Amino acid sequence: MLRSSKAFVTAAVLAAGMSSGAVLAQGTAAPAQGAPATQNATPPAAAPAIQPSDAQLQKFAGASQKVATLADEYRPKLQAASDDTARQNIYQEADEKMVQAVRNDGLSVEEFNGIGQAVQQDPQLQQKLRAMVDQPTRTQ
């Protein structure tokens, strides 16, 4: 489960970058055990890049925004944690909420990570995702 969480945290950090306008542009910098985002995280090979459909990319856009919001919510909590045990508990809680947010948008964690990796590697997908985030689909 730890391997899955690390992959998901990496994807969450990518998503957090998207919310600030830097849609998956550079390499991944993920916090490790609540440390500042200065340590490079290497995503596990378990999430191969895929060629997502427009529907999958739309789901990813929505899930990414939710994950980014959660990452922003939990970042100060992690920084304020008094010890490694508290930090680990906060990390686990954040991870569970992020996983649920992704699943609620109709993606598995593996799909979310694979799409994130594909977007990171493909400038055209980055532009397409940026457009989806800037002009979300209205569902009524």
Tens digit of each residue's pLDDT (9 = 90 or more) over 71-118: 999 999 999 999 999 999 999 999 999 999 999 999 999 999 999 999
Q: Residue 3: left (phi > 0), alpha (psi -120 to 50), or beta?
A: alpha
Q: Position of tokens 């689909």?
A: 137
Q: How far apart are CA 85 and CA 94, in angstroms?
A: 14
Question: Per the confidence metrics, is the pTM higher than 0.85?
Answer: no
Burial of residue 13 (CB within 10 Å: 0-12, 13-18, 19+) is buried
Lowest mean pLDDT across 46-55, 58-67, 96-105: 46-55
CA 113 to each of CA 77, 103, 139: distance values in angstroms, whole numbers, following the listed order: 24, 12, 25
pLDDT at 33 over 90: no
Q: What is the mean pLDDT of the chain?
A: 73
What is the spatial distance between Cα 128 and Cα 140, in angstroms, rounded to a whole number? 23
Cβ–Cβ < 8 Å for 46, 110: yes
Q: Are 72 and 18 in contact (CB under 8 A)?
A: no
Mean pLDDT along residues 38-49: 45
